[in-house]
Amino acid sequence: GDQSGTHDFFAEVVLDKSMFKDGLEDFRHCNSDDIRTLEHADAHTTHELVTRNRSANCYMPSEDDEHILEWVLADRGGIAYFGYAYYAANSASLTTVRIASDRVNGVQATSDALINPSPYSIVDGSYSVFRRMLFLNVNNEAWPLVKPFLDYGFSSAGQALVSSVGYVRPNAALHAKMLQRIAEGGNELADLVPVQPEKCAMGLRLATTPYLDQWGRQKIRYECLPCHPGTFKDDDLPRECRPCQAGKFAEAAGMTECGLCAKGHFSPKNSVTCQACAENTAAADTGTAICVTCDLGHFTEGEGAAACEYCPRGKFRDVLGPGPCLICPTGMTTDFRAATESMDCRCAEGSYHMEGGRESGPCLECPAGMRCAFGSEADGIARWEAAGQPDANQAKHPFPMAIRGFMTLAENPMRVYKCKVEQH
């Protein structure tokens, strides 16, 4: 399959460059559905698909050498390329192709020797075209963990195990070189090149950490780590996590999405938690970025309010910010809710202010024989008279008025006299 180094090696050695387009294979592949079926088929089904149903001269890729072996055994004209160990275990059913190392002339024209693969031709190097070294790339930092494995692998017992599965032991010179390399503790000239991962799962970010290796060379370590609280990632791209938008939050690490702040709460960008709206501010909706300040005459009962409330009758609020609605002075009230200033506080019905208005003192009880409407002020009488005595009930500034059967005099309008004869 095209995910393996074996595939790339074969393409570089055998195939003509014209068979590639933009670095990709440009020759016919077999039907992908048939290949998927073959990967789970029994021997009979494999034979039917390979010999009768597949397109002629098409390429059947697989990352599993066992599948390739089954397919080439089912097709008498099939050609496959895999490790010598698979041939050695099935040599009675497979035929090898002799090759030469001539890069110009074909098999019919070359004067070079045509070589069959065998343990001897591989070890002595005569089967050179397809001989491929197996490299062990070890992270130098992990050398203490890897060395026992290498010691066993190149011991007599380890080499016997290599031969038992069909692989070819290194020749004496190469074996001695490997033992020397192990004894030296690896290759300090080998340069590990960290590779950025192709994906980081949802909720994981790509983290880069500069470090110095054991020889003092600057390196970068790539890791997929959980998103920090206050951030999220909803895809598998290798990148940083994104901050939660204002009005949202992510209180734990590794979040794939941000939650919405509840009503009465808010959050700025990149928040771990939501905060309750301060006193006299409110958030009516979920996912709010900032709380709204209550207008004058409005308030909230503490923090975390979803809406502002009216100051009740008898109270007012004349400044923005924290603080309760203020109570009107003793004896005073308002005749509406949401009062915004102290001037909205007036004497309650049944009481009045003397001349000088509210600054003259407390509200006084309405004299017997008079009716004092809400907000009555004694100096309202003079204002009413100055206005030409319109309908007293329509006066802009209410004032105490005598009720039926009682009267007052202009020189002392707050002194009440009972009429001897009631007049209409």
**pLDDT tens by residue, 209-237:** 998 876 777 889 999 999 999 999 999 99
How would residue 12 be classed by pLDDT, with cut points 50, 70 and 90?
A: confident
Sign of CA dihedral 41, 46, 52, 53: positive
Distance of CA 355 to the CA centre of its chain: 70
* Residue 148 pLDDT: 93
Specify whether the CB–CB gap between 233 and 204 falls below 8 A.
Answer: yes
In the numeric block, which tokens belong to residue 128? 């050179």
CA atoms within 13 A on the CB side of 323: 13
DSSP 325-343: PEEPPTTEE-SSSSB-SGG
Q: What are 194-209's pLDDT values in tens digits?
A: 889 999 999 999 999 9
Record the tokens describing residue 69, joined without a space: 């072996």
Quote the tokens at residue 126: 């005569």
Can you tell me the distance from the alpha carbon of 394 to that of 413, in angstroms, rounded to the nearest whole number?
19
pLDDT at 22 over 70: no
Cβ(260)–Cβ(287) under 8 Å?
yes
What's the whole-number average pLDDT of the chain? 84
Identify which of 145-149, 360-364, 392-396 has the greatest average pLDDT. 145-149
Comparing CA positions, the residue from 178, 183, 105, 93 lying closest to residue 135 is 178
Q: Is the predicted pLDDT of residue 100 greater than 60, yes or no?
A: yes
Handedness of CA 95, 100, 104, 105 (dihedral sign): negative
Residue 303 has pLDDT above 80, yes or no: yes
The model's pTM: 0.51
Tell me which of 5 and 414 has the higher pLDDT: 414
Query: Cα–Cα distance between 320 and 280 in angstroms, integer?
Result: 8
Do the Cβ atoms of 280 and 300 come closer than 8 Å?
yes
Q: Is the pLDDT of residue 95 over 70?
A: yes
Q: Which residues pair with 221 in a beta bridge?
A: 209
CA distance 312 to 307: 15
User: DSSP letter string over 295-335?
Assistant: PTTEE-SSSSBSS-EEPPTTEE--SSSS-PPEEPPTTEE-S
- Which secondary structure element, helix H or strand E, spans residue 66, and what is its range? helix 65-74
For 371, the enclosing helix (H) or strand (E) is strand 370-371
> Residue 395 pLDDT more than 60?
no
Kindly report the backbone phi and psi dihedral angles of residue 205, in degrees, each rounded to the nearest multiple of 5, phi listed first. -110, 155
What is the pLDDT at residue 390? 60
Both structure tokens of 293: 């300040």
Which pLDDT value is given to residue 396?
63
DSSP designation for 254: S
Q: What confidence score (pLDDT) does residue 54 get?
A: 65
Task: Look at residue 334 in the predicted model and tell me its pLDDT.
Answer: 92
Q: What is the mean pLDDT of residues 384-393?
A: 62
> What pLDDT digit, counting tens, does each position of 41-81 carry?
777 777 777 776 666 677 777 778 788 888 888 887 788 88
Report the distance separating Cα 58 and Cα 36, nearest Å. Answer: 15
Q: How far apart are CA 89 and CA 96, in angstroms?
A: 13
* Cα–Cα nearest to 248, from 288, 204, 304: 288
Our CA angle for 247, 253, 254, nearest 5°, is: 95
Cα–Cα distance between 325 and 312 in angstroms, integer?
8
Q: What pLDDT does residue 108 have?
A: 77
User: Strand 346-347 to strand 332-333: parallel, antiparallel, or no bridges (unpaired)?
Assistant: antiparallel
- Angle CA 309–315–318, to nearest 5: 80
Is the Cβ–Cβ distance between 248 and 259 less than 8 Å?
yes
The b/e string for 408-418 (b: 16+ C-beta within 10 A; e otherwise) is: beeeebbebee
* pLDDT, tens digit (0-9, with 9 covering 90-100), for 250-298: 999 999 999 999 999 999 999 999 999 999 999 999 999 999 999 999 9
Residue 395 dihedral angles phi and psi, to the nearest 5°: -60, 140
Cα 365–382–416 angle (5° rounding)? 40
pLDDT at 195 (0 to 100): 86
Q: How confident is the model at residue 405 (pLDDT cuts 50, 70, 90)?
A: confident
pLDDT tens-digit readout, 339-381: 999 888 888 999 888 765 555 578 889 999 999 888 888 877 7
Structure letter (DSSP) for residue 389: -
Specify the higher pLDDT residue, 411 or 384: 411
Enter the DSSP assignment of 99.
B
Of 315-324, 344-353, 387-396, highest mean pLDDT: 315-324
The region that residue 344 occupies, defined by phi over 0 for left and psi between -120 and 50 for alpha, beta otherwise, is alpha
Residues 196-213 as b or e (16 or more Cβ within 10 Å = b): eeeebebbbbbeeeeeee
